[in-house]
């Protein structure tokens, strides 16, 4: 029985592996399914080709949400309900309070949107794409990168020195590095900048999660950040304002995240995560 258990859980025993493999494989699988689904839709409904990009974005968002639920289900069944993703009432108020620091990023997206973009989405389908396109990554990325990856690090590294700091930093960095997958579809410098500020935001949301063991705040605020971005029509290419805001976001949210898990809070965090 012990041997079977080791074989079944070997993947999760090395936290760095799922930190990169699960998001990458999820995105790869989603991309393959997306191509198939959109192709079938266009073949059967050629008149929809003119809104093919919107259909692709909507389908992609639905697939992300479905994959997130599938991961939750797999972990629940695989651990017989022992694995917790933080979707509960405990510390939910604190989760939202701490996550509310991300209002700074929401405000930044809105201000830059009005100053540097081609304006707001003006069509009903554009508005709908912005809403579901913000909700989907907010839910998917928090479930995978905080709910699964960070929880696993906190569990597997709890005997190591400074494991709280190590878990938050490594999960945040992994979250940033995963964005290199966008090199195939976006400007190189935009993608590299995204890696850095995604890591900073990942550290921040990771800190909120380990402080509360509740995922509702990060999911909701992450979704609002993305919705505020997608409501605008952004010009292509790399721009100076993106560099400045990207550097500020990286530094500010990394600092806030590290402050949330400062040494004075370590005992409180450890006690929270030792609860069964």
Per-residue pLDDT tens over the stretch 119-170? 999 899 999 999 999 999 999 999 999 999 999 999 999 989 999 999 999 9
pTM over 0.85: yes
pLDDT band at 3 (very low <50, low <70, confident <90, very high): very low
| 66-114 residue pLDDT tens | 999 999 999 989 888 888 889 999 999 999 999 999 999 999 999 999 9
pLDDT band at 224 (very low <50, low <70, confident <90, very high): very high
**Residue at 135 is within a domain:** yes
pLDDT band at 9 (very low <50, low <70, confident <90, very high): low
* CB 172, CB 199: distance < 8 Å: yes
Q: Cα separation of 44 and 142, whole Å?
A: 35
**Residue at 9 is within a domain:** no
Q: Cα separation of 159 and 161, whole Å?
A: 7
Structural domain range at position 71? 14-274
- Joined tokens for residue 233: 């029509």
271 contact partners, CB below 8 Å, separation of at least 6: none
Ramachandran angles phi, psi of 117, nearest 5°: -105, 180
Cβ atoms < 10 Å from Cβ of 44 = 8
**Residue at 5 is within a domain:** no
Task: Tell me the H-state helices in 45-91.
Answer: 52-78
Ramachandran angles phi, psi of 60, nearest 5°: -60, -40
Domain count along the chain: 1
**Residue at 48 is within a domain:** yes
17 contact partners, CB below 8 Å, separation of at least 6: 11
**Residue at 199 is within a domain:** yes
**Residue at 183 is within a domain:** yes
Q: What length is written for the chain?
A: 276
Average pLDDT, the chain: 90
**Residue at 4 is within a domain:** no
**Residue at 193 is within a domain:** yes
Q: Examine the pLDDT at 7 and tell me if it is beyond 50.
A: no
């Amino acid at each position: 029985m012990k041997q079977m258990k080791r074989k079944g859980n070997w993947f999760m025993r090395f936290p760095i592996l799922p930190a990169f493999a699960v998001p990458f494989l999820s995105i790869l699988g989603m991309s393959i399914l997306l191509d198939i689904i959109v192709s079938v839709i266009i073949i059967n409904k050629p008149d929809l080709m003119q809104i093919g990009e919107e259909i692709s974005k909507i389908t992609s968002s639905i697939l992300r949400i479905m994959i997130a639920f599938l991961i939750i289900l797999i972990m629940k069944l695989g651990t017989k309900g022992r694995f917790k993703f933080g979707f509960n009432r405990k510390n939910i108020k604190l989760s939202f309070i701490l996550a509310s620091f991300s209002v700074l990023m929401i405000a930044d997206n809105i201000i830059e949107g009005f100053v540097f973009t081609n304006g707001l989405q003006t069509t009903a389908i554009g508005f709908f794409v912005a809403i579901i396109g913000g909700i989907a990554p907010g839910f998917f990325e928090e479930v995978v990168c905080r709910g699964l990856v960070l929880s696993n690090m906190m569990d597997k590294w709890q005997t190591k020195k400074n494991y709280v700091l190590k878990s938050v930093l490594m999960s945040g960095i992994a979250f940033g590095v995963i964005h290199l997958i966008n090199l195939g579809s976006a400007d190189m410098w935009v993608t590299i900048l995204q890696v850095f500020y995604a890591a900073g935001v990942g550290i921040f949301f990771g800190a909120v999660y380990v402080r509360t063991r509740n995922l509702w705040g990060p999911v909701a605020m992450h979704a609002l950040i993305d919705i505020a971005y997608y409501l605008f029509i952004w010009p292509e290419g790399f721009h100076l304002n993106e560099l400045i805001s990207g550097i500020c976001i990286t530094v500010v949210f990394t600092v806030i995240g590290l402050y949330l898990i400062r040494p004075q809070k370590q005992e409180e965090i450890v006690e929270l995560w030792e609860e069964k």
